Amino acid sequence: MQIVIENLPFLLRGAYYTLLITVVSMFFGLIIGLLTAIARIRGNRVLRSIARGYVSIIRGTPPLVQIVIVYYGLVDYGIEFGPLTAAYIALSINIGAYVSEAFRGAIESVPKGQVEAALATGMTERQAMRRIIVPQAVRYAIPPLGNTFVGMLKETSLVSVIAVTELMRSAELLISQYYVYMPFYLAIAAMYWMMSTMFTFALHRVEKRLSVY
């Protein structure tokens, strides 16, 4: 493992980009997912159809295909992104579809009596959504969102195909340099596991804190 220790700074740099891509994509994915869930539940017929189509297409196609479409395919139409930006866009769109299903289930799990009570106090439907439904839905959605978040962390390895030097790409570059496989693969497996464990612990703490309120 001496060779891994010598190249640890390079691997840690890759881990940094893995975390960065995960956090940025999850942030925008949460926004996309929440808006999509609300559109499916409260939107008009057109919005509901668009939201359902978006979720169906994204969940029905491989993330790798979505990444190469954003990075390579859009170039045919004069739209060009850098590797890191393309990774953010593709993974945000991908994760948004899965997050929307988690939010939709969470929103529908809020008792309808609470909504009716909020409307009876004079709140508009939009105010009830913002003040009553969404805060509770976020708490209900934490467990499935945690699984989605950890899955996103591992899916970042796919962006290595567009030359983003995240953790997997970093290992591949070192392997091509030293022609040694197992030490680097074991090292990045351990690093992915440690990052996943940290995320799971942090989300468990958030869930526990929210359950108090």
Give residue limits of the domains in the chain.
2-212
Neighbours of 55 (CB within 10 A): 20
Q: Residue 96 is which amino acid? A: G
Q: How confident is the model at residue 199 (pLDDT cuts 50, 70, 90)?
A: confident
Token representation of residue 158: 């796919």
Q: Average pLDDT in the 198-208 region?
A: 78
pLDDT of residue 144: 77
Express each pLDDT in 141-196 by its tens digit.
777 777 888 888 888 888 988 888 888 989 999 999 888 999 999 999 999 999 98
Q: Structure pTM?
A: 0.84
What's the CATH code, domain 2-212?
1.10.3720.10
What's the whole-number mean pLDDT along residues 8-30? 92
Q: pLDDT (tens digit, 9 = 90+) per residue, 27-79?
A: 999 999 989 988 888 888 899 999 999 999 999 999 999 999 999 999 999 99
Residue 175 burial by Cβ neighbours in a 10 Å radius (0-12, 13-18, 19+): middle
Cβ–Cβ contacts within 10 Å for residue 104, how many?
22
